[in-house]
Amino acid sequence: MEKRKIKKEIGRREFLQMGSLAALSVPFITGHEAPVLHNLAQQSLKSNAPEWRNRQEGMAYRQLGRTGLMVSELGFGTERITPVNIRPLEVAIDRGINYFDTAPQYGRGAAETSLGKVLNTSSKRDKVFVATKISPFPGLRNRLYREIFDTLPATKKEAIQNRAIQLRKDCGIENPGYFMVYWPGQPRQLDGVFLSDAMMEEYGERVEGSQEFKKLIISTLEESMKRVGTDYFDVMH
């Protein structure tokens, strides 16, 4: 399938470089990198013929956005999986689930290692779609913006804080039932997120276009791929 061909033509280093760029805010991708990433994305979207993996009777599937990836309507989150508790993963694959979501922060890498134990051959890996996260991304992003914020005059700080409050209202996250708390203390972390978002237009190039940002993304992906035992992920978020 052409889509698979595109993926296989991308080497490990190219995947890491493009993955790091994809995780950055698009307005701050500049130079030769922007057209390369744009062309890669366009090739992938043009080749969005349905791509099936682990299709089984009794499981419903749907296309993931515009990607062409036909994912099971039941996904599998790996946060509670450990290397001595991989049977649920095996059962899920047997039942037709083909979308597995993991992250380096789940069990401090244990979830990724567990997934790697199950997907221990290329044929098994190509049977499913694997999504991962850049877990350290929000922390670094918020810290870098905060460091800039702390150097600004009081009037500028007030304007940014007002913008952050407005962004929060516009998102509607205070509406009952809109936001699900995923872990204790998560709502407090949103203050840093909205402050960063309010600063992005003016200061984004200094933060989201920085080498520190790219290095963090590449190193995080490199470590995740080693733990899972793969040379690519299907989805990053």
Q: What is the pLDDT of residues 13-62, one digit of tens each?
A: 554 455 544 554 444 444 444 444 445 455 555 567 899 999 999 999 99
- pLDDT surpassing 80 at residue 8: no
End-to-end Cα, the chain, rounded Å = 25
Report the C-alpha gap between 134 and 27 in whole angstroms: 19
Q: Does some domain include residue 102?
A: yes
Report the C-alpha gap between 117 and 55 in whole angstroms: 22
Confidence of residue 201 (pLDDT cuts 50, 70, 90): very high
**One-letter amino acid for residue 40 of the chain:** L
- Per-residue pLDDT of 207-237, as tens digits, reads 988 888 888 888 999 999 999 999 999 988 7
Q: Does some domain include residue 44?
A: no
Q: Does some domain include residue 68?
A: yes
User: pLDDT value at position 107?
Assistant: 93
Q: Does some domain include residue 56?
A: yes
**154 and 204 together in one domain:** yes
User: pLDDT value at position 41?
Assistant: 52
Nearest-CA neighbor of 228 among 107, 113, 85?
113
Q: Rounded to two decimals, what is the model's pTM?
A: 0.74
Nearest-CA neighbor of 56 among 94, 4, 99?
94
Q: Does some domain include residue 59?
A: yes
**170 and 118 together in one domain:** no
User: pLDDT value at position 125?
Assistant: 93
Last residue of a domain, one of 116, 132, 148: 132
**202 and 141 together in one domain:** yes
**71 and 117 together in one domain:** yes
Report the C-alpha gap between 224 and 235 in whole angstroms: 13
What domain range is 83 assigned to?
Answer: 50-132
Percent of the chain topping pLDDT 90: 55
User: pLDDT value at position 156?
Assistant: 97
**159 and 104 together in one domain:** no
User: pLDDT value at position 189?
Assistant: 81
Q: Does some domain include residue 144?
A: yes
- Per-residue pLDDT of 86-139, as tens digits, reads 999 999 999 999 999 999 999 999 999 999 999 998 889 999 999 999 887 888
**57 and 113 together in one domain:** yes
Q: Does some domain include residue 158?
A: yes
Q: Does some domain include residue 28?
A: no
Last residue of a domain, one of 132, 160, 191: 132
Domain count, the chain: 2
